[in-house]
Structure 1
Amino acid sequence: MNPADVRKPVSVAKAKKAISDYKKALGQPEGLAELAVFYCEEAFNLLTWRGVEDESFYDALVRMFEQALKYVLALPQGQQVAFWVRLEQVRHQGQNIGWGVGEDFDQLWADAGLAAGASTPPG
């Protein structure tokens, strides 16, 4: 997502295609979870040095956060904990960027059965 040359545009499509290609080639649940969570983390890394005024960027981020939650929930519980910690950090970062991202993240988090501030699913 972060181009080597900062003059080149950010390509959400290329980042999403890489995940899609992985899913078709290997599709291992832990790898999908890693890629989706990493995508979200990198989106926030991008935002620390480059503003993005494109609603589609934020919509794609919310959709990837939702996918990340689904991929992590599909993992055995012992493999989930590290991902929940990372996703909680992403969710927290989303509270400060506007575009409704924080609210969407909170709703998706709750829909996944996670309590606010919790980094493990219930029961």
Structure 2
Amino acid sequence: MVRSKNTSPTWNDVKTALLDFDRVGLRGLVQDLYSASKDNQAFLHARLGLGLDQLQPFKASISRWISPDLMKGQSVSVSKAKKAITDYKKAIGRPDGMAELSIFYCEEAIGLLESCSLEDEIYFTALIRMYGRSLEIVSDLPTLERSTYLDRLDKLRSRGRSVGWVVEEEFDRLWYDAVDEQKGE
């Protein structure tokens, strides 16, 4: 099937083109993708289980975007911080890694809010949603793996008191909903 020049290629087009690659050609393609960006490197390291800390590049991206150095003029980007978690999920998506990254996001966000006055409803809403998502992820972990994560989430709940807006109330609501749900298991 021949596509018109105005039609964007699809994954099916890519799969068909890959059929023409031999092993060496495919390895070369992956090498070029690896060299093309840090995101591709992080993806491949996580997917292939390489390196001592496969979460580090994802954490660095979260930190950069959710808790930037405002004194250097760096901007906040909730979407780019959340993209790091999505990228990890696509790469390997291990539940413990997802729990770690989502809680780390919340810790970094609270850290920024504790250190400066930020009045951004989108930022606060994203933090509350990520806290709720963290509780969901942790509740799906095996019981023995939950305690460390729950301790960190409880500490975040306490720290939420210092940042204002409705963070404290929403963290408490999400926390007690999750605790009640676990009691019902």
Q: Which TM-score band (shorter chain)?
A: 0.7 to 0.9
TM-score (norm 2): 0.59
Counterpart AA for 1:102: E
Say whether 1:77 aligns with 2:149.
no
Q: Equivalences for 1:1-123 in 2 at 5 Å?
A: 1-4=66-69, 6=71, 7-113=73-179, 122=183
User: Which residue in 2 is equivalent to 1:117?
Assistant: none
Tell me if the contact between 2:128 and 2:171 (Cα under 8 Å) persists in the aligned partners. Answer: yes
State, as a whole percentage, how many aligned pairs show the same letter: 46
State how far apart, in whole Å, the 2-side matches of 1:30 and 1:92 are.
23
State how far apart, in whole Å, the 2-side matches of 1:102 and 1:42 are.
16
State how far apart, in whole Å, the 2-side matches of 1:44 and 1:111 are.
21
Structure 1 residue runs without a partner (length 5+): 115-120
Tell me if the contact between 2:102 and 2:133 (Cα under 8 Å) persists in the aligned partners. Answer: yes
Give 3-state SS (helix, strand or coil) of 2:79's partner.
helix
- Equivalenced residues, count: 118
Q: 1:18–1:65: structure 2 CA closer, same or farther, 3 Å change rule?
A: same
Larger radius of gyration: 2
Answer 1 or 2: higher relative contact order, Cα 8 Å, separation at least 6: 1
